[in-house]
Amino acid sequence: MPSSRTPAWILPSLLAVTVTAALVAVPGAGGAAAPSSAVPVAAEQDGPGPDTAEQSKTAQGRAVQGEPGTTKPRPDARDVVLAVHGGAGAALDRETTTPAREKAYRDGLARALRAGQKVLDRRGTSLDAVEAAVKVLEDDPLFNAGKGAVFTADASHELDASVMRGSDLAAGAVAGVRNLRNPVEGARLVMEKSRHVMLSGEGADDFGQQHGLATVTQDYYWTQARWDALIRAKETASGSKTAAKTPEALADEQSKGTVGAVALDGRGDLAAATSTGGLTNKLPGRIGDSPVIGAGTYAKNGTLAASATGAGEVFIRGAATSTISNLMEFARLPLASAAYEVLVKRLPALGGDGGVIALGPNGDFDAPHSSPGMLHGYLTEDGAVVTKVFPDESPANT
Active site residues: 258
What gap in Å lies between CA 109 and CA 316, rounded to an integer?
26
> What is the separation, in whole angstroms, between the first and last Cα of the chain?
31
- Contact 92/29 with Cβ under 8 angstroms? yes
What gap in Å lies between CA 91 and CA 233, rounded to an integer?
19
- Contact 211/193 with Cβ under 8 angstroms? yes
Task: For residue 11, give every residue at least 6 positions away whose Cβ sits within 8 Å of its Cβ, in sequence order, or none.
Answer: 19
Cα angle: 75, vertex 84, 204; to 5 degrees = 130
For every residue of 335-352, which 3-state class applies, written as one string? HHHHHHHHHHHHHHHHCC
Tell me phi and psi for residue 82, to 5 degrees. -155, 140
Nearest to 359 by CA among 280, 304, 318, 398: 304
Nearest to 358 by CA among 87, 94, 151, 77: 77
The type of residue at 321 is T
What gap in Å lies between CA 84 and CA 302, rounded to an integer?
20
Task: For residue 103, give every residue at least 6 positions away whose Cβ sits within 8 Å of its Cβ, in sequence order, or none.
Answer: 32, 33, 34, 35, 36
Nearest to 146 by CA among 272, 254, 249: 254
> Which residues on adjacent β-strands are paired with residue 309?
355
Helix axes 13-22, 320-330, angle to 10 degrees: 130
